[in-house]
Amino acid sequence: MNTFLFTKDMVETLKRQAGGANTTYEVICAHIWRHTTKAREHLDDKKVGFVSVVNMRERIDPPLGKGYFGNALMFTIAVAKAGELKDEDLVVTAQRIHRSIRSCNSVKFYSWLHWLEIYGGDAIFERCLPNGARIGASSSHNFPIFKLNFGWGKPLACRIPSMDDVGKIVFFPGDDIHGNIDVLLTLPTHVMRRLESDDMFVNP
């Protein structure tokens, strides 16, 4: 696992590269998806996927009440060929992720629940792309972590002690002042080394 800092300036650069029409989440995920695909050295015709965890509270009809306590989420996956990601502009990759998220509506959500009733939660990733060909994100840089105080003062940072899933991305706000974002990422050591040496990834 490694932590990459995306400064506010880096995020703004990525948004400009993507035409300014996509969210912070979409452009960072598109950037990571493209460069991890390159670092994994997939063949051009290999299908690769990006998995997003989508909050469905206000996407289903009627929306859940503000006082609803519990999870209301689903997984969605954007799929492309490795060669397409290597060649296309960031805006195209960001739109792939955007469309997969926008597709999450009531019909898709209740179909998802029906699917889980039949196959169970353990089958989610067994039936989609193999782990080496997918990457996925969870959490959010918008969570108000720095407003938490358990009596020890405000947090200095937020981390996960370990992540076992290869290709998992977790977002955290990078600080309480500058608008930076910390991105935790798990990849095999040899893939991570290629990613770290990719100047276009670490300095977009």
pLDDT at 110 over 70: yes
Q: Is 3 exposed, middle or buried (0-12, 13-18, 19+ CB in 10 A)?
A: middle
Kindly list the structural domains of the chain, giving each domain's residue range(s) and its CATH number in brackets, ordered by start. 2-202 (3.30.559.10)
**pTM for this entry:** 0.89
pLDDT tens track for 49-74:
999 999 998 898 888 888 888 888 98
Per-residue confidence at 172, pLDDT binned at 50, 70, 90?
confident
